[in-house]
Amino acid sequence: MIIDTHVHFWDPARGDDILIVQRDASMRHRFFPEDLWPHMKRHGIARCVVMQSAPHEDETRHLLAITAGIPWIHGVIGWSDLESPAFTDRLRALQEAGPVIGLRVMLHRLEDEAWITRPAVLNGLRTLAAAGLSLDMVMGTAHLAPVRHALMAVPNLRAIVNHGATPPIGSPVMAAWMEGIAALARDTGAWCKFSALHEAALPVKSFAGIVPSAEHLWRCFGAPRLLFASNWPCCDRVAGFDDCVADFHALMAHVQASPAQVNAILGVNALDAYRVHQPAAPAPSRP
């Protein structure tokens, strides 16, 4: 079973605080489940994990509403304020609203690069872990050390690094990213999404340009802790869904991954990272 672990839905008419919609005119369209389904069907993808895009609980509730009852939605990764004194109650309320299987923190939007190490945030992470939910993280090189510290402080938290922590391809800080990723993979049990590398390499799209960062992620996390993710519709800015899938398989061939390793990254690992273990129903013929 193939699981796309990272897709977004949004409607600009709602006015949600979504940076990519604000910054890129090509993203200022409504992207809903019915728009994604043809891509999934074409590539035999059975399920997807829906990611929050705005740091507001109302957007999470909107995602739960528009995905309700769709059998190929694996679950929703929402947002809530980990520092809030009422975090436990707010998290419970979100879970009661629908299949919230984790939360995501948007570290790249915060001024404090070490925010995740604050005592109140660490308490929130412990609450999240106790609830059996996962943590997705949008992050960059500057966040790697604080994230490592936080995950070592909450070792039972299932954590997922989004987009390889945005490798600074072509930048002088690439060496710092490589060192930070290696330490994070070595000292924690985090998973990492094999995604959005072309977006990190903008404005140049080159398969050769993303190979070094992909090789490093492969060496550091290995097949058991990597996850397939399209980052749709954001991937349309650079490559498109079909190219994303093709590049994933090309990278797997490049690192000489075995069929079992490819299958793990395509789906098996997601069942562990996101802990929705019920047997999968056959993929429906329509959304």
Per-residue pLDDT tens digits for 58-97: 999 999 999 999 999 999 999 999 999 999 999 999 999 9
Average pLDDT over residues 227-252: 92
Radius of gyration of the chain (CA): 18
Selection from 59, 135, 70 nearest residue 101 by Cα: 135
**The sheet that has 158-161: what strands, in order across it?**
2-7, 45-51, 73-78, 100-106, 134-138, 158-161, 191-194, 226-228
Asked if residue 201 has pLDDT above 60, the reply is no
* More confident call, 115 vs 197: 115
In 3D, which of 265, 250, 246 has the Cα closest to residue 39? 246
- Check whether 204 has a pLDDT greater than 90: no
Residues facing 102 on adjacent strands:
77, 134
CA distances from 69 to 15, 72, 85, 204 (A): 25, 9, 32, 40
- Looking at residues 118-130, what average pLDDT do you find? 98
Predicted TM-score (pTM) of this structure: 0.93
Asked, for residue 166, whether it belongs to a domain, the answer is yes
Rounded to the nearest integer, the mean pLDDT of the chain is: 92
Residues in the chain: 287
The answer to whether residue 209 is domain-embedded is yes
Whether residue 125 lies inside any domain: the answer is yes
| Number of domains present in the structure of the chain | 1
The answer to whether residue 286 scores a pLDDT higher than 50 is no
- For the ranges 265-269, 273-277, 279-283, the maximum mean pLDDT occurs at 265-269
Residue 173 domain flag: yes
| Per-residue model confidence (pLDDT) at position 275 | 84
Whether 162 is covered by a domain: the verdict is yes
Q: What average pLDDT score do residues 17-21 get? A: 94
| pLDDT confidence band for 170 (50 / 70 / 90) | confident
Give the pLDDT score at 208: 79
Encode pLDDT of 20-51 as tens digits.
Answer: 999 999 999 999 999 999 999 999 999 999 99
**CB-CB contact of 222 with 183 (8 Å):** no
Q: How confident is the model at residue 205 (pLDDT cuts 50, 70, 90)?
A: low
Residue range 199-211: mean pLDDT, rounded: 69
φ, ψ of residue 7 in degrees (nearest 5): -135, 160
State the average pLDDT over residues 180-200. Answer: 90
279 domain-assigned: no
Domain-located, residue 55: yes
pLDDT confidence bin for 265, thresholds 50/70/90? very high
In a domain, 177, yes or no: yes
Distance CA 188, CA 152 (A): 6
* Domain span at 136: 2-273
Is residue 101 very low, low, confident or very high in pLDDT (cuts 50, 70, 90)? very high
Query: What pLDDT is recorded for position 262?
Result: 98
Q: What is the pLDDT of residue 283?
A: 43
How far is it, in rounded angstroms, from Cα 159 to Cα 135? 5
- Sorted by sequence, the CB contacts under 8 Å of residue 264 that are 6+ apart come out as 223, 224, 226
How many percent of the chain have pLDDT more than 70? 93
pLDDT of residue 169: 86
The span from the CA of 70 to the CA of 80, in Å, is 23
Q: Which carries the bigger pLDDT value, residue 198 or residue 152? A: 152
What CATH number does the domain containing 86 carry? 3.20.20.140
Highest mean pLDDT among 192-201, 227-236, 270-279: 227-236
Please give the pLDDT value at position 32. 98
pLDDT of residue 36: 98
Q: Which of 215, 150, 204 is nearest to 178 (CA)?
A: 215
| pLDDT band at residue 202 using 50, 70 and 90 as cut-offs | low
